[in-house]
Chains A and B, each alone.
Chain A
């Protein structure tokens, strides 16, 4: 929740306000350090951002209006701003997502969502996704082993047909598994809701701690605007 708010504040800030961004980055790093998350983990998990960075790097080459000369390249000022915005905002988003996922288990996130009144069907779907993700990946691996042991080697476009067939088979298998799971649920008296765990009391201090990050970000934004 706090992570979402922080991302919202960050995204709403114009990129030209560089001071605010410096403040955001120091805030999130401070949080990551207090949470004792090893920097290596953070860097490894940040790799997911690379495609966006590549896209953002292309941005300065396209655009209109004002041009800037940089290292002999003629770039568009507007594109530079947009690209830098994407990189900075995406990095902040990824870092706060890392902060959330490293400090909170998936189960706790789901429970949190339930407490925040996300419709129970959505929470149930997410719960099942969590449970069956590796059942399905295992199945996918078994299929790929079965393909490979019959001499299949996906090399080019000619093999896409086989891969598409496998994907289809996997989809049908998962669908059938879904049906069997539903039968198993009905057999144990499923009536539309999953058991709720007894809730731990959430202390006001914890809420305050959670809100500290987005609030600090907001104040730094206000300060940088006023200055």
Chain B
């Protein structure tokens, strides 16, 4: 098939206190694919995500983004990988740290060297994609939670990432905001890795599902067959909501 956006091989990691989080993770994602990363709490999902853009230095194993190795000792490589992997964190208040929405969206592209008109263009385009253009001069704390989440997505889209990584995108959203976000994600033309517990949300948006459990990949298949396998889900503390049928 097409090119690989992300390739993780044999990734293992232990926290400085000796707590091992990842025991050899293998994962590869093709360009344009939408993949759900499922798994119980404490499975190492967030640790994996932080490896993808070099926040946590790789101890053992390899991470390749668009064919390029993430070399945590090389500042240049780290810098370029952070512009290719866009991470949307769980709490939008962590993500939105600038005084206004517009300044916040400009933060990423500014760091990659855009200035003036180009910078403005990147900001307006990204805000348009998430339907938040009219909020450009508002401070983030005046927005609703759903709106903040959308702006958080825009801050990352403004960097035109190779792959978009979202940590629990549907958490704390009301049903309408959740649907709006799903519509936005569907309309985007990016490779997506979505960390979530919200199985129906994942089913709606992703073709493929990966279950990460106890630091290893326990399943990696089409999402319909992963979610249909009740035994597999139960073994990893996952379940579909009651009354939900594929």
Nearest CB of B to A187, in Å: 5
Distance A173 CA – B141 CA, assembled complex (angstroms): 18
A65-91 contact mask (Cβ, 8 Å, vs B): 1 or 0: 000000000000000000000000000
Interface centre among B94, B96, B106, B112 (most CB of A within 10 A): B94
Distance A177 CA – B98 CA, assembled complex (angstroms): 15
Q: Are A195 and B50 touching (Cβ within 8 A)?
A: no
B87-103 contact mask (Cβ, 8 Å, vs A): 1 or 0: 10101011111111001
B74-118 contact mask (Cβ, 8 Å, vs A): 1 or 0: 000001001101110101011111111001001110111000100
Residue of B with least CB distance to A188: B108
Nearest CB of A to B93, in Å: 5
Distance A191 CA – B83 CA, assembled complex (angstroms): 13
Q: Are B97 and A180 touching (Cβ within 8 A)?
A: no
Chain A residues with CB below 8 A from B44, complex form: none
Say whether, besides A130-B99, A188-B159, A183 and B108 are in contact (CB < 8 Å).
no
Nearest CB of B to A196, in Å: 9
Q: Give how many A residues have a beta carbon under 8 Å from the other chain's beta carbons.
A: 26
Chain B residues with CB below 8 A from A186, complex form: 55, 82
Q: Are B93 and A187 touching (Cβ within 8 A)?
A: no
Interface centre among A180, A186, A188, A194 (most CB of B within 10 A): A188
Nearest CB of B to A83, in Å: 41
Q: Are B97 and A189 touching (Cβ within 8 A)?
A: no
Chain B residues with CB below 8 A from A127, complex form: 98-99
Distance A103 CA – B83 CA, assembled complex (angstroms): 39
Q: Are B111 and A190 touching (Cβ within 8 A)?
A: yes
Binding site of A, secondary structure by majority: helix, strand, loop or mixed?
A: helix
Q: Are A135 and B89 touching (Cβ within 8 A)?
A: no
Which residues of chain A have a CB within 8 Å of any CB of chain B? 106-107, 110, 127-128, 130-132, 134-135, 177, 180-181, 183-191, 194-195, 197-198
Distance A135 CA – B145 CA, assembled complex (angstroms): 12
Nearest CB of B to A159, in Å: 30
Chain B residues with CB below 8 A from A130, complex form: 99
Residue of A with least CB distance to B96: A131
Distance A181 CA – B55 CA, assembled complex (angstroms): 13
Between A and B, 6 residue pairs with Cβ closer than 8 Å are: A131-B139, A134-B141, A187-B85, A188-B86, A189-B83, A194-B98
Distance A187 CA – B85 CA, assembled complex (angstroms): 8
B155 at interface, CB cutoff 8 A: yes
Q: Are B106 and A195 touching (Cβ within 8 A)?
A: yes
Chain A residues with CB below 8 A from B140, complex form: 131
